[in-house]
Amino acid sequence: MHELTKKFGDFIAVDHITFQVKKGEIFGFLGANGAGKTTAMKMMCGLLRPSSGIATIAGYDLKTQSKQIKKRIGYMSQKFSLYNDLSVTENMQLYGTIYGVKPAALQVRIRESLKDLGMEKYADKLVGAIPLGWKQKLAFATALLHKPDIVFLDEPTSGVDPIVRREFWDRIYKTASTGVTIFVTTHYMDEAEYCERICIMSNGKVMMIGTPTQIKTDIGVDSIEAVFSKFVKR
Ligand SMILES: Nc1ncnc2c1ncn2[C@@H]1O[C@H](COP(=O)(O)OP(=O)(O)OP(=O)(O)O)[C@@H](O)[C@H]1O
Ligand SMILES: [Mg+2]
């Protein structure tokens, strides 16, 4: 993407951001509350129209081909995106259908996903009744039902315990290893270290981009946390 920008009135939420993400890469988006991470992600998903700038997502032009883009991406929103009053299977059926998966293939995909997650026993439980860590993993699996090229995860591990976060990251690695590009936001500095490259944002602007090691070396500190406190002014 090149100089992608979003203004809300006079306020610039995303300020001329430019970078490229490789296929199959795990790319992390870091920044304080209000830095513009979600807004940038929503533009990349075709959910928000950019004020200016250009982007190519999964090979399609954001301005003219957002319909095609939506078919090739998965999105897990910052707020939990499944319906609490539908069962695990019903949620997957609903989202799979919205993502355009044909009914027969969808049944197979749902079975495979639940097996892979070890969630078969939850298949008929209401989503509202299962633990948050399971919900998050389920939301991730749901965003993958249509086998997208890129999946956008907005704070997918927020509020879950360290063990579940580690398990979630194992799933991220497994998914990326199949060639799916992972675009993830997080406030957890240990997770930043799990990314292949990270982008640090502040006030809508890109402050730094690189591998965690590169960034730490460039700044001359030994943790991403130290980089973060240096760059991110609240
Ligand atoms: N629809 C909107 N109208 C006006 N301002 C908005 C809108 N959406 C977001 N903003 C503002 O844009 C800025 C960036 O918000 P955004 O949600 O992208 O930040 P974020 O980096 O995702 O933060 P967080 O870490 O809290 O999720 C904030 O100041 C927010 O209040
Ligand atoms: Mg956000």
The count of domains in the chain is 1
Report which ligand 1 atom has the smallest distance to the Cα of 35. 21
Strands 205-210, 56-57: pairing kind: unpaired
CATH number of 175's domain: 3.40.50.300
- 118 located within any domain: no
- 122 located within any domain: no
Residue 47 structural domain: 2-82+148-231
Average pLDDT over residues 52-73: 95
Give the model confidence (pLDDT) of 42-61 as tens digits: 999 999 999 999 999 999 99
Quickly state the pLDDT bin for 230 (edges 50, 70, 90): confident
- pLDDT at 103 > cutoff 90: yes
Q: Which ligand is nearest to the CA of 43?
A: 1
The pTM is what?
0.95
- Ligand 1 centroid to residue 34 C-alpha, Å: 5
- 136 located within any domain: no
- Ligand 2 centroid to residue 104 C-alpha, Å: 35
Give the model confidence (pLDDT) of 168-187 as tens digits: 999 999 999 999 999 999 99
- 112 located within any domain: no
Strands 26-31, 52-54: pairing kind: unpaired
- 98 located within any domain: no
Quickly state the pLDDT bin for 36 (edges 50, 70, 90): very high
- 51 located within any domain: yes
Torsion angles phi and psi, residue 8, rounded to 5:
-110, 100
- 131 located within any domain: no
- 36 located within any domain: yes
- pLDDT at 234 > cutoff 80: no
Q: Which of 11-20, 171-180, 219-228 has the lowest mean pLDDT?
A: 219-228
